[in-house]
Amino acid sequence: MTAAAFKDACHSFAKAAAPYLPIRDDAHYEEALALVESLLKEAEDSPSDPLNAVIDLLTHAIQTYEDQDAELAAFEQRALEQPADLAMLRLLMAQHQLGIADLPEIGSKSMVSRVLSGERSLNKSHIKALSRRFDIDPGLFF
């Protein structure tokens, strides 16, 4: 490829990428998230795959947008302030639309409530049982 052809390709890419670099609204943010997910499935796990450079550009744009959005920044801050086991439990509950009565691995509704309030922590047997139920690595709770 000649320098002139590469320059033309860069202009074409810049025009196509304009809504995502930088991301300016929620609609393009959601599209960028979906696009990254799709590209991750297609890209080879190799630094030489050019799709990885595009993924890097998009994830940087996504991070910048999230950092500028007060609601997303507050959500991230709350997530970082939670203990890992509690954050994982809340995530599993949200993903599977579970309530406090839906977690017999932890015990009674009052025990689940105490864990969610931070009054009690998950113990080793809770984590093992939850890991088996949701088929996840127990290390995700730490």
Q: pLDDT for 16-37, tens place per residue?
A: 999 889 999 999 999 999 999 9
DSSP 104: T
| pTM as predicted | 0.55
CB–CB of 62/23 below 8 Å? yes
Please give the CATH topology (third level) of the domain spanning 83-141.
Answer: 434 Repressor (Amino-terminal Domain) (1.10.260)
Which part of the chain is CATH 1.10.260? 83-141
CA atoms of 94 and 83, how far apart (whole Å) = 17
Give the pLDDT score at 47. 83
Condensed to tens digits (0 to 9), the pLDDT of residues 32-53 reads 999 999 999 998 988 889 999 9
Give the pLDDT score at 73. 80
Q: With a cut of 70, which residues of the chain have pLDDT below it?
A: none
